[in-house]
Amino acid sequence: MISDVINSKDIQKIAPVFGQPSFDNHEQVVFCNDKDTGLKAIIGIHSTVLGPALGGTRMWQYNSEWEALNDVLRLSRGMSFKAAITGLNLGGGKAVIIGDAKTQKTPELMKRFGEFVHSLSGNYITAEDVGMETADMDLVREVTPYVTGISESKGGAGNPSPITAYGVFMGMKAAAKYKFGSEVLEDKVVYVQGIGHVGESLVEHLVDEGANVFIADINEERLDEVSKKYGVNIYNGDDIYSEEMDIYSPCALGATVNDETIFKINAKVIAGAANNQLENEQKHGKILQERNIAYAPDFLINAGGIINVYAELENYDRKEIMRKTENIYNTTLEIFKKANQSNLTTHHAALAIAEQRIATRKLENSK
Ligand code: NAD
């Protein structure tokens, strides 16, 4: 088992050689390699100022280790701000496992990954993300207590995705209230891109509300399944961004709002679950603002999952989880108003609140 810890200065030195990874003074980045199980993973700890760095593990077939590093740096940074704006005493961390979750994930690999998590002594606490199931977290739990999102039968709070979806739904309603004057989504044309754990649950809420839902995914079986189950339309075209819609809901991977898509996007609102939707926060946030597209910051509205897994650490109940998740509606609406009053992008307005909370705690901790 080899664990390499790269410190901040090293990343700053090597970054220009390969292009810019999203390094932002992360506290620790750990490379995990294990030949026996084929595990190749990276754990990113962005900040532990507010508490242990909690964030899910993503298993994905990255094109290169550099791409995986970039992803884990961006994702772990986002987790710091998500916890901060949600008022949780958690820092920001995330892990990525390089590989195909369908064919390369084995119990041995998951347990070995758990051992690496354990070696960080609770500075990093994991959970599920793309490519992971509750059962995988149960395996990790066999070797370390530093894991959340485990099965209810094993004392956990279960799969966080339905709570994430509920929070996204709340954030979407707040964005609709701001943009259309009403939070009711009936008859609104909503495109959900990515109908995995979160996307499917979001589709259910939207259908219950009477929205006109279109779904897109690279997995055709899922499209058929979800379309039949909820009676929603399948989007088969190759340019979802140009389609006229009220709400675009990115629920697959990040960075779908980028140089190629941003001027094509034909939606009035963007509100989805995916982390890091803006490829470049400043540039793309600003263009959305100029184009009068109401963007609900991802790290704010997709916080339901972290609220749910945090409950495993703090022992609060379902009612409290739902209350905190529902409150995403109020916070999102406040952010839209604050951004409008201060002529800031919504992303910037939300980030400023999160950064302020971290800075205040840092000062308190140093006293
Ligand atoms: P998932 O793996 O269950 O689902 C992702 C879906 O996106 C899959 O169906 C996949 O086929 C599809 N997909 C991948 N690439 C696509 C593409 N290019 N176009 C269309 N579809 C594509 O993941 P999930 O748990 O539902 O998470 C979805 C997103 O929400 C991720 O970005 C994740 O980081 C974020 N998120 C999830 C949670 C949670 O509680 N699960 C919490 C916060 C944020």
Assign residue 116 the CATH number of its domain: 3.40.50.10860
Decide whether any atom of ligand 1 lies within 6 Å of the 253 Cβ: yes
Q: How far is the CA of 269 from the centre of ligand 1 (A)?
A: 19
For the CA of 195, the nearest atom of ligand 1: 9
- 265-301 confidence digits (pLDDT tens): 999 999 999 999 999 999 999 999 999 999 999 999 9
Residue ending a domain, among 131, 159, 187, is 159
Domain contains 360:
no
Give CA–CA dist 57/94, Å, rounded.
6
Decide whether any atom of ligand 1 lies within 6 Å of the 249 Cβ: no
Angle at 172 between CA 167 and CA 177, to 5 degrees: 125
Q: How far is the CA of 181 from the centre of ligand 1 (A)?
A: 29
42 and 177 together in one domain: no
Protein residue whose Cα sits closest to atom 30 of ligand 1: 274
Give CA–CA dist 220/120, Å, rounded.
39
Decide whether any atom of ligand 1 lies within 6 Å of the 202 Cβ: no
- In order along its 367 residues, the chain shows pLDDT tens digits of 445 566 656 666 655 555 555 788 899 999 999 999 999 999 999 999 999 999 999 999 999 998 999 999 999 999 999 999 999 999 999 999 999 999 999 999 999 999 999 999 999 999 999 999 999 999 999 999 999 999 989 888 888 999 999 999 999 999 999 999 999 999 999 999 999 999 999 999 999 999 999 999 999 999 999 999 999 999 999 999 999 999 999 999 899 999 999 999 999 999 999 999 999 999 999 999 999 999 999 999 999 999 999 988 888 788 999 999 999 999 999 999 999 999 999 999 999 999 999 999 999 989 8
335 and 231 together in one domain: yes
Residue-level pLDDT at 2? 44
Side-chain half-sphere of 225: how many Cα atoms within 13 Å? 10
201 and 276 together in one domain: yes
Which residues, including other chains, have CB under 8 Å from residue 227's CB and lie 6 or more apart?
215, 233, 234
- Residue-wise DSSP of 166-219: HHHHHHHHHHHHHHHS----TT-EEEEE--SHHHHHHHHHHHHHT-EEEEE-S-
Domain contains 364:
no
Residue-level pLDDT at 14? 58
Give the number of domains in the chain. Answer: 2
The neighbouring-strand residues paired with 98 are 60
Q: Give yes or no: 13 in active site.
A: no
The model's pTM is 0.92
Domain contains 319:
no
Decide whether any atom of ligand 1 lies within 6 Å of the 147 Cβ: no
Residues composing the chain: 367
Give CA–CA dist 42/47, Å, rounded.
16
Nearest CA to 206 out of 173, 236, 237, 181 is that of 173
For the CA of 101, the nearest atom of ligand 1: 2
Retrieve residue 281's tokens: 């926060």
